[in-house]
Structures are given as C-alpha cells and as structure tokens.
Structure 1
Amino acid sequence: MDDLTKRWKTLSLSNKESNTLALTKNNQSEEYVLIAKFFTKRNVCIDAVAKTFKTLWRTSYDFGIRDAGDNHLLFVFELESDIIKVLMREPWSFDRHLVVLTRYDGITPMEKVDFSQTKFWVQIHNLPFSWLTSDVAMEIGDTLGEVIKSNNVSEMIGGNFIRIRLAIDTSQPLCRGRSICFDDSTQGFVSFKYKRLPNFCYLCEMFSHDDKDYSLWRQSKGSLKVDDQQFRQWLHATQFNPLRKTVVDVKGFRSNAPSRHQGNLSSSLISNVSPREPSYCVKPVSESVGVVRSTSTDFEKMMELSPVKLDS
C-alpha cells in the first residue's frame, strides 16, 4: 500500500481512479495527537505501553494509543492540556529506552516527522564558585542545544553545580563536557550529567542502539573491555530535588539592600530567608519602672539608656 501511494503519479489511472473526491472538512478528527518513536530494536507491546504511561502521565482525561508501525505509536488525547503536561515532563523512556514525542497534525507522512529532539535537564559540574550563575548556564547551554528558559530560575542551582533545560539533538552523540576558558591564563573542563538518561551506547554515545548492537562491538566478537568505553555511568545525573534548599541567603540586621551573594549566584537563584525582626523588651519590676521596647534598628540607643533606679 505504501509503495502504491508513493507511485500513483507515475501510473496510468482509469477514469474512476482519476476522479478526485473532495472530503468534507467537518468529518476530519479534531483530536489532539502525539506521535512517539521508541528507540529500541525490540517490538513494542502496545498493552504494556498503555499500562506504563497511564501510571506515569496521570492525565486528566482518557487517551488512546494506535500502532503506526515500525515502533511508532500515536497517542490520541481528549484534552490539549494533557499533551502540554506530558511534553513539559520530558524525557520519557520505555523499558529503559528513549521515547521521543512530538505533536502530530495527522497529515504529514510518517517518514517526514522529525524525531531528532527531546528535552533534558543537564547538570554542569566543576565550575568555580564565582561562575555558578544563570548567565553562565545559559551561555554553556547554547553550545549544547536549544535552551528552554525556566520560569523559576532557582531550579538552575544545585549547590555545587548549575543546570539548564535543553532540547538535545538525539541524532548526535551526547556531549560529555566542554573545555572552558575562564580568563586569559586559566582554563578548565566542565562535565555534564543528564537527568533521567535512558539506555544508550557506551561506545559511541548514540540512543539508537545498545553496546552489543554497535558495529565495533560485533566486529570485536566480545573482546572489547569496559576500559574501551568512551562513555560510562557518570553521565547519569543523581536525583535533584529543587524544593530542597541548597543555597540560603541570610540578611544582616542593618542592611536592606540585596545580598552581595545574589550577585554571585544570579539575582533570582537564591531561596531568600526573611528572618523575623527580633523585639527586645525589659519587663517592669514595679509600677514605677516602664517598659522599654526596641527593634534592631534602634537597639544601640536602648543600650545607651541610663540605669533605672528602683524606689526603696
């Protein structure tokens, strides 16, 4: 059928075959569709996929799954907001293999759908303290892929590292790090770690196959060792909880200006702590002794008060 669809312009059509039928637009489906490519050599079981993603996605309304062939599936949603929620939480995997999702218009031929990008949180390690800023994260991220700007910049700070959300090109090997020049005389190397990184080839860093499917591995007949792998488990990022505070700014009693530490970690990267202003109080010991109250701003004046004499 596919071959006939591609070759029909070169065929001699009968009168019935060449009589064009204009379809009614009202009969066109108005459903919201994602198309998925499963990066695995194994056949995908649609029932197992349904059971897995029902639990992971927790959509508000129902969704259906249709087999599109060659490990491609169509996910048909009743609500567009469910699609948006699924795409915002990329990357996804099934049986530890990458699953790339993209919106589908229902018209584009399957072979022309682009599955070359998916989104990852990438951690950037080994940066000096003074370079742990959101601007540096954006600058380095631009060299890896399309930067997805975060509404909450505090998500980019992990204490001793910074992180950035990127649209990564899945048709290219993953990047392990980047050589960095900090100034005219200082250079270094920063390493990258990827959150929720699925299976990939440790020999060539591609998502499309595992180590044992790589041509170099097959040619070696199993003689390659772990030391021959250019990529290893250290590319997997440890679990990061943005709700857990790793950076806190404590303001002084005399200063209302922004902390200088915010300049180092970017203006919005710190979870500010606003300590409650203490109230200092001297309780009366008799009716002739009044109460002295002061905030921290006039605390010194209170300390300069002359001693109160008690009536005998």
Structure 2
Amino acid sequence: MEEDILLKLDNIELAEHEAATIPIITSDIRKSADECSRSLFEKIHGTKKANIAGLRRALNHLWQIRSSVSVRELNPNYFQFIFSDKEDKVKVSKGANWTYENQYLILQEWAEGISENHPGFQEVDIWVQAWNIPLHWLSSEVGIKLGSVFKQVKDVSVPQGGNLAGKCLRLLVTLDVNKPLLRCTHIQLEEKKILVQFKYERLVSLCFYCGHLGHLDRNCDKRMADIAAGNLREGLYGDWLKATESFFSHHINSSHPNPSPLSYTDNPINTLGFLKFQASDLKVEIPDQAASLMSTS
C-alpha cells in the first residue's frame, strides 16, 4: 500500500514547495546509521499478529543476552531490534531458528533499503532428516545431492556406529517459505531406486492441507477456496513430517558443536553420533536434473 502511494506521488505534478529538495549531511544520520548497524530486522512468518511487549519479554528470556535491546515495530509482524552490544547481536543472528507462539522469526542483518519484502525474509534454515536410505549409501556425498532438492544445503551429518542416530542423514537446508514442504524424493544407483522420506526437526506452523509454513489448515486460503468450490480434499501433509523429539534431543549441547557460522540452529550435531561435513568442503558432482532444481528453486 505505502509503495503504491509513493509511486503515485512520484508520477503526479507537485506543488512548488512539494517539489523542493531538502539537503542533509552525513552527520545528520550518524546516530540512526549507528543504530541500524547494531540492529537485526525480524519478520514473523505467520498469520497471528505479535504483541510488541509480549515479544520483547519472550525474546529477552529466550536469547539470554547480557545487554539491553530496544524494539521498534515497523509494520505488523515486522520489527527492528536495536542491540546495545554488537556481540549480543552476533550471538542472536547465529543462534537458533527462533520461534514465537509457533511462528518462525526470520532475522536479517541491516542493509540499506531493507524492507519486509527482502528476499531473505522468505527463507528459513532447518534440519531435515532423510530416512529409508540403505546403510551403505549413508555418506556425505549422498547428503549433498539429496540437499539439492531444497533451495540450499549448508551442512550434512552422517551417523556413526554405536549410537541412536539410526539409518538417516541429517541436512541443514534452506527452505523457501513460499513453497510447500517437500515430503520425499528419490535417489537411484544404477538400477536400484529408493524413495527417501523427509522429516523436519522442530517444525512449527505447518498447514496439513496445502503444505505451507506460516498457518494451520483452519486458516488456509486454499482450503477455504476449495470448500467454496466444492472441491475439498483430504490434506496430504501431517504430523508424520515432524521428526520425533526423542530421536534428536540427545544431540543438543554437544561438547564439540560445529563452529561454522553456517550452522546457526540450536541443535549442534553431536560428533560422537555423527560425522560432520560442511557443504563447501565437499566437491560433489550433482546430476543435471538436481542441478537444475538448485538453480530454479
């Protein structure tokens, strides 16, 4: 709405005093620019409107930071968090996929011109478990290729023996929140083709009807439209897409968490149960079909 109004104003004839240009200098913006450099911008991906006071209380408890944080509401569910300590800002930005009232809080560093329409607010990083893979196929190379069906794969963990890790790979991937969640894919070695099921760790606010994050089926626009058109069908998503908490909870608070800033979740992989690989460290040939999925996602 605001962008439409600005576009309209930019294309109409203005009065003389409206068309005037007022000069400013660098010192005029020094304080506000410093605030922005200490800020994280946050968009809540969901339909439930956040209360700024409740959000501040919840995040102060969740983040466990030592300094104060000011919160500025820029638009509904779009906030600027101004940290008094830059180290606290870094800690939060490299922390978990934060959630508030079962909605993802998507954080972005400040950049000139940032708005709630920034592409980064359409992405969330999450750990995905890939199941039904033959034991002798459990490798980092396979994990990287599996991750190519997502927008980006950032990390892969491979189970070791003598642990409850089971026969699955764990992938840290970037999801496009505007697309339905992937339920499965296939991998093939020569004549053997395997269906791989995906399970998502700490998954919140999934619509079982359309498969999108950010709302539940009772608030699903597609479901409402199908009801109105007499085309209501059974939802093709469900709780089976959520990884069991007991499976991965013993990997939290590893004594050897991955120090890489790419792994910014609250679930560092236990190196006693998994071998870790950074996607950037692996040189893997990705088939043309998978490569095209990466480039178009």
Distance 1:27 1:79, change over 3 A: farther
Residue 199 of structure 1 deviates from its aligned partner by 0.9
The answer on 1:200 being equivalent to 2:198 is no
Distance in 1, Cα, partners of 2:148 & 2:73: 36
Residue 138 of structure 1 deviates from its aligned partner by 1.5
Counterpart of 1:22?
A: 23
Amino acid at match of 1:189: L
The answer on 1:69 being equivalent to 2:75 is yes
Distance in 2, Cα, partners of 1:109 & 1:121: 27
The answer on 1:38 being equivalent to 2:39 is no
* C-alpha RMSD of the superposition: 3.2
Structure 2, unaligned runs of 5 or more: 255-273, 279-297
Task: Verify the 8 A CA contact 2:98 2:106 in the aligned structure 1.
Answer: yes
Distance in 1, Cα, partners of 2:147 & 2:276: 19
Task: Verify the 8 A CA contact 1:33 1:105 in the aligned structure 2.
Answer: no
Distance in 2, Cα, partners of 1:170 & 1:267: 26
SS at match of 1:122: strand
Deviation by residue 1:167-188 (Cα, 9 ceiling, x = unmatched):
111111110111121x222111
Distance in 1, Cα, partners of 2:22 & 2:180: 46
Counterpart of 1:125?
A: 131
Larger radius of gyration: 1
- Normalising to structure 1: TM-score of the pair? 0.68
Query: When the two structures are aligned, how many residues end up with a matched partner?
Result: 245
Deviation by residue 1:242-280 (Cα, 9 ceiling, x = unmatched):
3699xxxxxxxxxxxxxxxxxxx87979xxxxxxxxxxx
Residue 195 of structure 1 deviates from its aligned partner by 1.3
Task: Verify the 8 A CA contact 2:210 2:223 in the aligned structure 1.
Answer: no
SS at match of 2:99: strand
Task: Verify the 8 A CA contact 2:130 2:170 in the aligned structure 1.
Answer: yes
The answer on 1:93 being equivalent to 2:102 is no
Deviation by residue 1:157-207 (Cα, 9 ceiling, x = unmatched):
9342220111111111110111121x2221111111111111111011111
Distance in 1, Cα, partners of 2:150 & 2:193: 19
The answer on 1:236 being equivalent to 2:237 is no
Distance in 2, Cα, partners of 1:224 & 1:71: 32
Structure 1, unaligned runs of 5 or more: 246-264, 270-312
The answer on 1:52 being equivalent to 2:61 is no
Counterpart of 1:6?
A: 7
Distance in 2, Cα, partners of 1:155 & 1:105: 39
SS at match of 1:7: helix
Counterpart of 1:175?
A: 182
SS at match of 2:8: helix
- Normalising to structure 2: TM-score of the pair? 0.71
Distance 1:21 1:119, change over 3 A: same
Larger % of helix: which? 2
